[in-house]
A and B are shown apart, each in its own frame.
Chain A
Amino acid sequence: MTINNTNKRGKQLKVFVHLVLSIVFILLFIGFVNAELYYSLDVYYDNGNIKIRNVDVVFSNEPLENIINEKYFKTYNLEVIDINRDKKEAIAFGVLNKFFYDSVNASGEIVLGGLQELENVSFIVYAPYHDTGKEIIIYDENGNKISEKDVSSFSKIIIEELGKEDGKEEEDSKVQEVKKSVFDIKKIINYKYLILGVILVILLLILIYLINQPSQLKKKR
């Protein structure tokens, strides 16, 4: 092998390593920007019944999960239905109506206590956001529908239609602002994915080309 060939291979190897590192970096970055929107449901539990008191859309870099622990909690289910009545999401959550209490003696040792159940309690339930979501329905542990809430005001389609219609009663400007920011965030995430995807494809193509290069050199020889 000549010195020129060695140098060429060395350079190729260098480019190859850089490319692999770039791809790894992009994949890590994609993981990093893997932020999601969630419906945040303020639910009120009262003796087996549940009422969704309020719904917000929140943005989180980390997955927002509900506690499901059959040792302690009844498991209820939740569905997100879209405007075509299709089920977009089905998730479970525990009814968080338990607490431990602990009492101490004079020397500060815990000597008394135990697990208690609350008859009524409010807590937060998270569900992945869908921009075509129209309704959220909650089912109890036996599959009975026990609560539903219209979430179409957070739907992209509904908001866009509302924006086109004149003369309709205007929503509270603050609410509109929040909803707009929700879609702006969504757009940013999608935009980032698109750019990173294109870069990733280009890098992969170069990588494939470079992997094929040594075999071509061999053939030439």
Chain B
Amino acid sequence: MKVNYKFFLIAICIIGVGIIIQSQEIANQYGDGRVKVDTRIEKKTANGLDTYDFKADSSLTVHYTSQNGASKPVTYSQLESFQLKNGENVAPYLVFNERGKIVEAKFKTGKEGDYILGNEIVKLKKGSIVSFKDGKAEIKIPGDKIEPPSVINSKEKGETSFMYDSLDGQGIFLGAYKIKGGVGFENGNYFIQNQEQLELGDIVIANPNHIKTFIDFKGIINGGYKGAYISMDRERGVLVLGANIEQAGPAVKINPENAYGYYFDSPNTDHMAFKVLGNKDGSYVMIRKSAPLGKNQEFKIVPEIEHLNQFIMDQDYKSVYYNSKNEKMYLRPNGNLIKEFPASADSTTVATTISGSFKTKNSRIERVMEDMKVGVGNYNEIVFGKNKRFMRVKAYKDYPRLYTGVSDLEIYNYELTEAGFEKLTKVNVVAADSSGTAYLSKQSNIRYLFDLMNSIPTQQARMLKRLKLYDQVSGAYARAYSDGTVQMTVGRGYMDGDTWRHEMAHQVDFNGGSGRFNSMWYGSGIDRNVKTSSYSYNGGETVSEWLAYTGLTSDKQIKNMLGENWQNNKWYRAAFAVGWHNYLYTHERIAEIFGRAGLKYDKESLYRYMSDVGINIK
């Protein structure tokens, strides 16, 4: 059989010419890679841009070479038109620039596959609607899960900002949370922007100004975000709200059920909201669940807050506000500052401590308020102080030097019960009768007992084993037993603080103070020289009366009792110093008494006062 080579040659030529005629090729340098477009669609060129309008049977293939050298074709076919909300019909098209990069596109996918938009490859399911222009891509997807786009050229990473939303409007998953209104993706990070208000797990985000807010689940401070951010790690109990721009981030309200350790004992009224006011040098508020204390971790500690630069915390109908301009921290007693979450006047607080306060100055991070902290108690009290375990709020009316305060111990905030008192103090508290029971049922009384215990040295507190409360102690008002039991009368719903200190002084006396109390107090002659009442002359009562009259009283009362110039009396000075050395007074109390009398109260000075009456401590 004779083969007609001429026929084959002509046929091949015709096919070749056909292909050349029907296909156009763009071969442009494209970043690190190379892009080639094969299509049979007629292109329209204007202003250096090539536009391809798609019809039902149109097909266009982009061949790109990624940085690792792998070449992959991406075919745009079965692109469909779609309708906008206003009913306008949008026909599918792609626009390429001179470098072969897709810079504009609108289409609905007719099949699942990869689609290049700008510098990124997006995986889309069938039925996805894409609107891409000016580096912003809006994509509506069927289903509720985003597959994050991958980058073609890392040098141009992050040039496209994606905003995903679900076609059915039911939301898209970001981590474990389904978010309605759209989830953005930019430069490898997720963000939210469209929502006025959004609930994300245990927080509510209010963003009426539509600030781009990056979201991650690492719970870390991140100065790399170009905008506001929320970084949460529920497992570690860390929430970071930040804004690295000169614009306030969204307002964030904490929900009663949260992973950060905040306990809302009045979920309907407790109110807690934050707002980071933004700073180009970085600004954040970091909320952190605290590690519990105790051998068995039985003492929970309220969450701590650390901040950098300006922020607001609303609690109750009050605000804590740090102003970077004048570098001052404000406690605003009336009214909230975060308008996105208005609080009513009957709202209440949630206990927390602002323990780290920082500012940037000349590009350096410095402490604000040195070692001062801000404590927020559960009873609508906000206060500055150094010791987060107890910050004084106010003195009791009847006892000018007995203070109630704010503590970071959860028990002091939320467990003002007999059980809570026993757990924290290790003192067995017993209601001996109905008056005792009634007394212990009141939170204010338990707080008072805590405050009394807090007014004495730890060593003295350990001497108290049992506190028994009676309507009327048998044959007396109060008793102190050598086994560590103190019996108190609470018949009128009131326990006398001075008497309690009196009985506790008996306990110190029974225990021998820190070891040499007998020789220091009785042997030195102090006992004979510091009588404060006629009752002091009873054996063993001098020290108890001395403590009852000086433990919780004002400086004025001390002067009234001991004389205007008591500080010149060596016995009085020595009595206080011996009291300090033998666990009758805290050093804080001695500092108050001596400081206001113009006496030194360092260790050496206190030893000197003792040595003035023949007590040699060394």
Asked whether, in the complex, the Cβ of B480 is within 8 Å of the Cβ of A100, the reply is yes
Q: Which residue of B lies closest to A95 (CB)?
A: B482
Taking the closest CB of chain A, its distance from the CB of B88, in whole angstroms, is 71
Q: B473: nearest residue on chain A (CB-CB)? A: A101
Q: Is B165 in contact with chain A by the CB < 8 A criterion?
A: no
- The reply to whether A110 and B502 contact each other, CB–CB distance below 8 Å, is yes
Q: CA–CA, A214 to B499, complex, Å? A: 66
**Is B477 an interface position by the 8 A CB rule?**
yes
A166 interfacial by beta-carbon distance below 8 Å: no
Give min CB distance, A41 to chain B, whole Å.
13
**Are the C-beta atoms of B511 and A69 separated by less than 8 Å?**
yes
Are A110 and B479 interface neighbours, CB within 8 A?
no
- B518 interfacial contact with A, CB 8 Å: yes
Number of interface residues of A (CB under 8 A): 29
Question: CB distance B518 to A71 under 8 Å?
Answer: yes
B533 adjacent to A114 (CB under 8 Å) = no
Smallest Cβ-Cβ distance to A59: which chain B residue? B295
From known contacts A61-B295, A69-B518, A96-B483, infer whether A110 and B477 are also in contact, taking CB-CB under 8 Å.
Answer: yes
Which residues of A lie under 8 Å from residue B379 when comparing CB positions?
none
Q: Which B residue sits closest to A108, measured CB to CB?
A: B496
Of B69-77, B178-186, B540-548, B563-571, the one with at least 4 CB within 8 A of chain A: B540-548
Tally A-B pairs: CB < 8 A: 85
Assembled-state Cα–Cα distance A96/B475 (Å): 21
A115: interface (CB < 8 Å): yes
Query: Is there a chain A Cβ closer than 8 Å to B476's Cβ?
Result: yes
Closest CB in chain B relative to A126 CB, distance in Å: 13
Q: Quick check: A121 and B483 within 8 Å, CB to CB? A: yes
In the complex, the chain B residue whose C-beta lies closest to that of A62 is: B462
In the complex, whether A123 has a CB less than 8 A from a CB of chain B is yes
Q: Which of B475, B482, B538 contacts A98 (CB 8 A)?
A: B482
Cα–Cα, bound, A98→B540 (Å):
12
**Bound state CA distance, A115 and B476, in angstroms?**
12
Q: Assess whether B373 is interfacial by the CB under 8 Å rule.
A: no
Q: How long is the Cα–Cα vector from A96 to B465 in the complex, in angstroms?
A: 13
Which of A61, A102, A115 interacts with B539 by CB under 8 Å? A115
| A109 B476 Cβ-Cβ under 8 A | no
Contact of A124 among B477, B483, B502, B539 (CB under 8 A): B483
B410 at the interface (CB under 8 A from A): no
Asked if B540 and A103 make an inter-chain contact with CB atoms under 8 angstroms apart, the answer reads: no
15 A-B pairs, CB-CB below 8 angstroms? A61-B295, A68-B512, A72-B482, A72-B510, A97-B482, A98-B482, A98-B510, A100-B480, A100-B541, A101-B475, A108-B496, A109-B533, A110-B533, A110-B535, A113-B538
Those 5 A-B pairs whose CB atoms lie nearest each other, nearest first? A96-B482, A101-B476, A99-B481, A123-B483, A104-B477
- Interface residues in chain A, defined as those with a beta carbon under 8 Å from any beta carbon in chain B: 61-62, 67-69, 71-73, 94, 96-104, 108-115, 121, 123-124
Q: A62-B462, A96-B481 are in contact. List 18 more A-B contacts (CB 8 A).
A: A61-B295, A67-B482, A68-B512, A73-B482, A96-B482, A96-B483, A97-B482, A98-B481, A98-B482, A99-B481, A100-B479, A100-B541, A101-B479, A103-B475, A108-B499, A110-B502, A114-B541, A123-B482
